[in-house]
């Protein structure tokens, strides 16, 4: 039960952080898009970290894969002609999430 609560809290923190970091996008239903891409990628990433290695190369390769998947999902939802905007948003979302994860790991070990 504690693990599920932790996962839900971290998911909410991640969604709030990524939405705040990309509030400048101003596309319709953007908050729902951020929630959707996070619900697709973040639980799988968290489970992969628990099941495999937490080494830096593994985490960075996972983050790159997540960035590409989220960018593709956003482009599929909003149209590929907005690829620059959505690629930038996905990069910022994942960068903010990654840096926050690093800081939390340093602070709480």
**Main-chain phi, psi angles of 79, to 5 degrees:** 105, 135
CA distance 68 to 62: 10
pLDDT tens, position by position, 22-31:
999 999 999 9
pLDDT tens, position by position, 39-89:
999 888 888 877 887 788 888 898 999 999 999 999 999 999 999 999 999
CA distance 25 to 98: 20
Domain boundaries, given as residue ranges, for the chain: 2-108
Residue 3 has pLDDT above 80, yes or no: no
pTM confidence score: 0.86
């Amino acid at each position: 039960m504690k693990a599920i609560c932790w996962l839900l809290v971290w998911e909410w923190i991640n969604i709030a952080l990524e939405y705040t970091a990309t509030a400048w996008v101003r596309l319709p239903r953007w908050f729902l898009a951020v929630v959707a891409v996070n619900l697709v990628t973040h639980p799988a990433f968290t489970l992969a970290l628990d099941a495999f290695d937490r080494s830096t190369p593994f985490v960075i390769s996972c983050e790159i894969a997540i960035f590409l998947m989220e960018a593709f999902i956003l482009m599929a939802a909003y149209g590929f002609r907005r690829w620059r905007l959505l690629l930038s948003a996905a990069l910022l979302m994942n960068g903010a999430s990654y840096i926050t994860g690093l800081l939390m790991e340093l602070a709480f070990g």
